[in-house]
Structures are given as C-alpha cells and as structure tokens.
Amino acid sequence: MPVDPSKLSRARKAAYFVSNLFAQGLIGAARLVPYELRVPMMGRLARLGGRLAGFDRRIRTNLAVARPDLSEQEVTHLLRAVPDNAGRYMIEMFSGREFVDRVKDTPIEGPGLAALEQARAEGRPVILAVSHFGNYDAARAALVARGFHLGGLYRRMANPYFNDRYVRAMRAIGGDLFEQGRRGMVEMVRHLKGGGTIAILTDIHVNGGEELRFFGLPALTSVVMAELALKYGAPLIPVYGIRQPDGLSFRIELHEPIPHSDPRTMMQQVNDDLEAMVRRHMGQWFWIHKRWKQWNGLGIDPEEMVQSRRRAGN
C-alpha cells in the first residue's frame, strides 16, 4: 500500500527517489523526440527493459496457465508485442496534449454508444468497465472531447515521488479523478448521483473480491462496479481502445451494456467480454501484471500451477 515518504525507511526512500529521477529523465528525454517516432521508440525500449526486468518470465507463466495451447512461436511473438504496447501506452499517457489532439476525434463504435448517449440525455449515471487493454485513455479523451462528464477511480502509485507526475498526466487527458479510498469513493458516488459517468478498471486482482473466472481460471474480481450499477440504475458498459496496426491510432468500441441481474453474474459477464477481446488481440492485454493470485484460500498461483504441470510431466 502506498505510504507517505516520511514513513519510509531510508533505503526504500532512496530507491524510490532514484527510480523517480530515472523515470522523469526518461520521459523528459522521450518528449524531445517527435510524437510519431517517440511512441514506437518507447515500445522498443519497453521490450528491452522488460527482458532485463524479468517480465518475459511473468508473461510466459501467465500464458502457460491461461493459453497452454499457444505454440512457442506465438508465445515469442507475445513476448515482444505485450511490452511494446505497454511502452507505447506509458509514453502516450505522458504526452499530454499531443496524445489528446491525436485521439480526440477517433470514431466511437458499438451498441454501448447509444446507451451512453441515452443515459446522458436522461441525466442518468453510467459506469464504464475498462481494462489494461490497448489504451483506454484514447477512449477517455474521445469521450471527454464529446462532452461526456467522465470521472475515473485510480490507485496511488507505490512510488510517492512519482505519483504526482502520474496524477498530473491523467488529469491532462481530461475528466475528474477519484483516488481509491474512503474519500475517493464518496466523491465518486457524488459524481454518479449527479448523472456523471465513471470508469473503473475491472482486470486487477482484488483481495476480498469474488472468485470468478477469467480464461477459465479462478480470478478474484471486485463486484463493486456492478453493485453501484444496480444501486443507481446505471448502465454498465465495457469500453475498449483498440490499437491499430500503425501502432499510433485506435478504434474505440463500446459494447452492449451488461444486463442488470446480480453482482457476481454481471462481473462474470464483464470478465467474459474482456476475455473475448483479449483472444482477438492477444498482444494488447497486459499479460505482465498479476491477474491471478491467491488470497485467503481463493484464487490460484500461476507459478505453482506451472511447476505442478512440469512435475506431473516428469
């Protein structure tokens, strides 16, 4: 959990301070490069840095448990594609106005758009289910440019020195921000009650979440957004910013709203919708992060699953 710098040990404080200087320097240097070259350049750097940081192993492990049917050639391709998209996403977020100007007029497609527009016309709230896929900020910028009162729930970064830069970058893209926690939740609910639209990440491990399925595997998933949708009569709409083959532009899709039923059923449908998108665009989901983890006897440990399969094969 992120803490105040005054409560950190000297060693941890020094490590965060140095990593912040490195990140700030890298972003600053990258922004000196023209946008059309900057984005692919950061994709290439992320591929190299990912190998040095051990991301290749995590990607392989996640793929081994979620998609054991993939060939070695397909896995090798994803070892390049996944960090490339992550690197592009990172510098796009920190490119501010340049990024917004490039994506704000991107066409928005899908049946969810009509539901969103109808809710706005009626003054009703909307909840957008977003994920670490492609670049959701492209959809956020395009929706804000079209006049939607958009807010987002975010989690503070572990590095307190870099967090302020991170928040400023998100604010530059547009919309309101609510920090995860009691105060942020109060502000977010107020935003909803006022007929606003909020975006919440769906594809992160949440201690205390419900054990649902993702790629057929137990994955702890928060059901809060479904509970909010039911409580305030808000459409729950999956949204995706799909990176296009040129690596710089996007296609924005708003899928059919999730039917209101009960929180578990609704969030399982959200997981299923994302899984279908990931299967169509495997390189655009963040296979680097720890979507599958154990908590209080629930969930799975991908590393243990891989080791168990290896022992069984010997």
Task: Please give the helix or strand (H or E) that residue 197 lies within, else none.
Answer: strand 197-201
Task: Please give the helix or strand (H or E) that residue 237 lies within, else none.
Answer: strand 236-243
**Cα–Cα dist 220/208, whole Å:** 8
Domain ranges of the chain: 5-313
Per-residue tens of pLDDT for the chain, all 314 residues? 455 666 778 888 888 888 888 888 999 999 999 999 999 999 999 999 888 888 999 999 999 999 999 999 999 999 999 999 999 999 999 999 999 999 999 999 999 999 999 999 999 999 999 999 999 999 999 999 999 988 888 888 888 888 888 888 888 888 888 888 888 889 989 999 999 999 999 999 999 999 999 999 999 999 999 999 999 999 999 999 999 999 999 999 999 999 999 999 999 999 999 999 999 999 999 999 899 999 989 999 999 888 887 777 65
The pLDDT of residue 1 is 47
The pLDDT of residue 19 is 87
The pLDDT of residue 164 is 85
How does pLDDT run across 275-295, given as a tens digit for each residue?
999 999 999 999 998 999 999
Residue by residue, DSSP assigns 58-118 as HHHHHHHHH-TT--HHHHHHHHHHHHHHHHHHHHHHTTTHHHHHHHTT--EESTHHHHHHH
How does pLDDT run across 222-260, given as a tens digit for each residue?
999 999 999 999 999 999 999 999 999 999 999 999 999
Q: Which of 183, 182, 154, 150 is nearest to 168 (CA)?
A: 154
CA-based diameter of the chain, in Å?
62
Three-class DSSP category at 124:
coil
